[in-house]
A and B are shown apart, each in its own frame.
Chain A
Amino acid sequence: MELLTDGLLALLTAYLAFRCMLAPKLSKTVFTFFAFGLILALMWIRLGAVDVAIAEAAIASGFMGVLLLDSLRDFSPSYSEFEDNIEQPPNQVAFAKRSLSQWVPAIASGAGLLLFLFIALQAVREVPAGGGLAAFAEAKLPESGAEHPVTAVLLNFRAYDTLLEVAVILMGLLAIFAAGGIRQFRKPSLPPAKDPVLRKAILIFTPLLFLFGAFLLYIGKSGPGGAFQAAVLWGAIGILLHLGGWRIFNALSRRMRRIIIIAGPLFFLLTGFALMARSGTFLAYPPAFAGFLILIIETLAAVSIAAALTAIYAFLTD
C-alpha cells in the first residue's frame, strides 16, 4: 500500500513537472505549478519532514503562486498586445519546424541528463539510512530550550545559519526593490476587488489566519511549525487585505514599515551580540532563558517576514 502511494506520488510529481513546462498557455503553467507544489508538499510528508512540507505548501506553492498569478497580468489582453501569440501553443509549432539535425543536440543533452540522473540515483542509493545528526540533536534537546528537534537545530544549535536566512528575506526584498525600479516594466496597479462577497470573505478569513499563524508559531516549540510557516500565514493576511482594498501596509509611515520589516533580523543579531558581551560566545543562550529568547526571536522574525512578504506583494501590485 505504501509503495503504491509513494509510486503514485513520484509519478504525479514528474508528470506535473512536465505539464508545467510544456503547458501551451502561461495560465495553465501557473495553475499546474500550484498543483505541483502541493504534491511536493505531500512527498515531504511521506518523507517525514512535516516542517518542510508546511513551508513548501505555504511559501513555494502559495506565495510563489500568488506572485506568478500577478505576473500573469503582464500578459492579460487589457495590458498586452501579444495575446495572439500566447493563444497559440508555441511549443507545438516549434517542434514541427525542427529538422533532424536540430534534434541531435536535444537528444544528446537528454541522454546526458538521463545519465546524470542515473549516476545521481546510484549515489543516493549508496547513502546509508538513518545517518545524520538526529541522535546528537535529541541528546542535547533538554539544554536547547525547545522540545522539537527541528526548532532546536534552527534556533539554537545552528542559530547562526538561521540568522543569515532571516536576513536573506530582507535582502530578497531589497533586491526586488532594486529590480522593480525600472519604469518601463511597471504595469498598471491592480484595482481593489469590488465584489462584496469577496470582501466579506476576506474579513472572515483574517482572524482565522491570524490565529492559525499564532498556533503554528507557538506549536513550533514542540512540533512541526515555527516562524517561517507562521510568517506566511500572516503574510497571507496582508496580501488578502491588500486585495480587498484595505491597503493597511501603505497606511503605515515609511519609517514604521521599515522598523517592522527589520525588527526580526535586527533583534536576532543584537541578541547574539548581547549574549556575546555577556559570555564571550555569539548567540550562546543561557539554558534557563533559552526557551523564552527563542520564542521572542521567532515571533519577531515571523512578524518581519510576514511584513516583508506583504511589502513584496504591495510593491509589485501598486
Chain B
Amino acid sequence: MKELPASVLPPLLVGVPMLLGMVSLFFKIKRRPIPGIIGSVLIGVLAFAAVVETSRHGTVIHVPGGWVPPLGIVLRMDPLSVVFISLTALIGIFIGLYSQMYFRTEEGAKVRFPLFWPLWFFLWAGLNGLFLSNDIFNLYVTIEVITICAVGLAVLSGEAKALKAGLRYLLAAIVGSMCYLLGVALIYGSTGTLDMALLGQVLEPGPTASFALIVITLGLLIKKAAFPFHFWLPPAHSAASAPVSAILSALVVKGGFYVMLRLWTEVFGVSLTFAAGQLIGVAGAAAVIWGSWQALLQTNLKLLVAHSSVAQLGYLLMIFPLLVLKPGFSTDSADWLPAAWTAGIFQVMAHAFAKSSMFLSAGIVVAALGHDRIASLRDLVAKMPMTALAIGIAGVSLIGLPPSGGFMAKWMLLKGVFLSGQWWWAPAILIGSLLTAGYIFMLLRLAFAPAREENRFRPVPIMLQVCALLLALGSFLIAIPAEKLVVFLENGESFGRGIETVIKGGNHGNE
C-alpha cells in the first residue's frame, strides 16, 4: 500500500459529533440548542479544515491504534469523502438553526424535541464515519449507527403514523443490513481481509465474489430506497417532523449511494459485468418515472416531496451503467467518465440542498396552517412570499432548469449518456424532468392563485423562512464553482475511475 500522509482530522470528524451527542444529553432540555448550534458550527469548522487539508495533501489517512490492515482499520479522507462531509456539515448547520426555531412553534412543540439534538449528533458521527471508512465491516457498523439514529429521529414526531412508518423503515433497513453483512462475511471468508484497498487487489472473480456483490448491492439498494424497494421511504420521510425529513431525505439516503459507488468502483470491479450496470440503470430509470408520477398524484405536500426523493435518487443510480465499461474500453479511452462522475456528485449536492429546502418549506407551511394539504397552498405568495420563493427556486433545481445545480447534474448525465452511446437512458431523464416540472408548477400555480376562502396563516418566525430560502439558493450557488470542484475531486483516486470489466473479470465462466 502506498504511503499516504496521516492526519488527525478523520477521528475528530467522527469523535467530535459523538462527544457532542453525549454532552448534549447533560444539558437541560431548554438549553440543548446551545450545545447544538455551537457544536454544529464546530463540526463545520472541522469539515472546512478537512477541505483545506485534502486540497493541500490529496488523500490523507488515519490508522486508529496504529494497526495497519489487514489487522486494523484505516480511515481514509479523500476529496470525494470530503465533498460529502462538507455537504453534510453545511446542510446540517442550516437544519440545526431551523430546528431550534421550529420546535418553538405551536406545531413543532408536539415533537419530542429533547432527543433531537443527541440523535442528530450521533447520526452525524455515523455519516462522517461512513464517508471516511475504508473497511467493509466498519462500513457495516456505521450503517447500523445511521439506521438506528435515523429511525429514532423519524419517530420523534410522536404521531401514530410516524411510528408505523418508522417500524416499516426499521424492518426494511434491517433486512438491508443483513444482506450487506452476509456479503461481508463471504468476502472476509474468501479473502481474509476487510480493507477496501487490499480487497481491490486480492478479490478474485468467482461464484463467491459474485454472490457477495449481489447481496451487498441488494442490501444497499434497500437502504437507499431504490425502485422496487422504495416502499418504506415516502411514509417514513413524510411522517417525520420537518427538520428530520430534511435530514433523512437530503443526507441519510445518500449514504447508501456513497457506499455503493465506493464498493463498485474500488472493490467489485472483477465481478461486475456490463449487464449488472444496465440492471441498476433500469432500476434507476424506473424510480425516476414512477417516483415523479406518484409525486404528481399526491394531495399532501410532504408526501409529494418524499415521492420526489424516490425519483431524484433514481437519477443517482443511472450513473452506474455509465461507469461500468463495455468490453474493449478502458478508463482512458472512455471519455464520458468525468461527465458521469460530475453528474453523480452534482445530483447528490443539488438534491441535498433542494430537497432539504423543500422539506423545511413544507414544515413552514405545516407550522402556518396546521396541515400540509396542497389545496390550501392558495395565496401562499401573498402570505409568505419568502417560502413561496424557496419552493420555486428549489423546484427549479429539482426539474433541472439552468442555471441550477440540478441542471448541471442532468446536463452532465445526458452528456455522459450520449458520449457513451447508451442513448436509451435519455428518454427516462427527459420524462422525469417533465413530470417533475408538472408537480412543481402545480405547486406554484396554486401558490399564485387567489384564495377561495380565507386561509388562516399563523405567523411563522422569519428565521425559518430564511433558512429554507438560503438552502434553496444553495442549490443554485453550487453550480458557480463547478470547475473548481471538479479539479478538487480529480485530486482523489476514485473520481473519474471506470469499472473495467473485461480486463480483470471478463472470462469468469471458464473455470
| B contact patch SS | helix
- B174: interface (CB < 8 Å): no
Q: Is the CB of A175 within 8 A of B148?
A: yes
Taking residues whose C-beta sits less than 8 angstroms from the other chain, chain B's interface range is 35 or more
Task: Tell me the complex Cα distance, A285–B64, Å.
Answer: 10
Chain B residues in 8 Å Cβ range of A182: 155, 158-160, 163
Q: Is the CB of A174 within 8 A of B115?
A: yes
- B153: interface (CB < 8 Å): yes
Q: Is the CB of A127 within 8 A of B160?
A: no
Q: Is the CB of B145 within 8 A of A167?
A: yes
- A131: interface (CB < 8 Å): yes
> Which residue from chain B places its CB closest to the CB of A280 in the assembled complex?
B8
Q: Is the CB of B145 within 8 A of A164?
A: yes
Q: Is the CB of A119 within 8 A of B211?
A: yes
Q: Is the CB of A171 within 8 A of B145?
A: yes
Give the residue among A123, A131, A177, A182 with the most B Cβ atoms within 10 A.
Answer: A123
**What's the A-B contact tally at a CB cutoff of 8 Å?**
169
Q: Is the CB of B65 within 8 A of A160?
A: yes
Q: Is the CB of B149 within 8 A of A171?
A: yes
Task: Tell me the complex Cα distance, A156–B210, Å.
Answer: 32
Q: Is the CB of A158 within 8 A of B72?
A: yes
Give the residue among B66, B126, B163, B190 with the most A Cβ atoms within 10 A.
Answer: B66
Q: Is the CB of B155 within 8 A of A281?
A: no
- A266: interface (CB < 8 Å): yes
| A contact patch SS | helix
Chain A residues in 8 Å Cβ range of B210: 123
Q: Is the CB of A280 within 8 A of B6?
A: yes
Q: Nearest-CB distance from A261 to chain B (Å)?
A: 9
**Which of B18-26, B290-298, B310-318 touches A?**
B18-26
- A284: interface (CB < 8 Å): yes
Q: Is the CB of A175 within 8 A of B65?
A: no
Task: Tell me the complex Cα distance, A178–B149, Å.
Answer: 10
> Which residue from chain B places its CB closest to the CB of A130 in the assembled complex?
B192
Q: Is the CB of B144 within 8 A of A178?
A: no
Q: Is the CB of B115 within 8 A of A177?
A: yes
Q: Is the CB of B18 within 8 A of A179?
A: no
Task: Tell me the complex Cα distance, A174–B138, Å.
Answer: 22
Q: Chain B 124-160, CB within 8 Å of chain A: the 1/0 string?
A: 0110010000000110011011001101110110111
Give the residue among A136, A171, A269 with the most B Cβ atoms within 10 A.
Answer: A171
Given A164-B145, A178-B153, are A281 and B63 neighbors across the interface (CB < 8 Å)?
A: yes
Q: Is the CB of B163 within 8 A of A123?
A: no
Sample of 8 further A-B pairs with CB below 8 A, known A175-B149, A178-B119, A276-B11: A127-B190, A132-B189, A133-B192, A156-B65, A159-B64, A178-B152, A179-B155, A281-B66
Q: What are 6 inter-chain pairs, A to B, with CB distance below 8 A? A: A127-B186, A127-B208, A133-B70, A161-B137, A164-B126, A283-B64
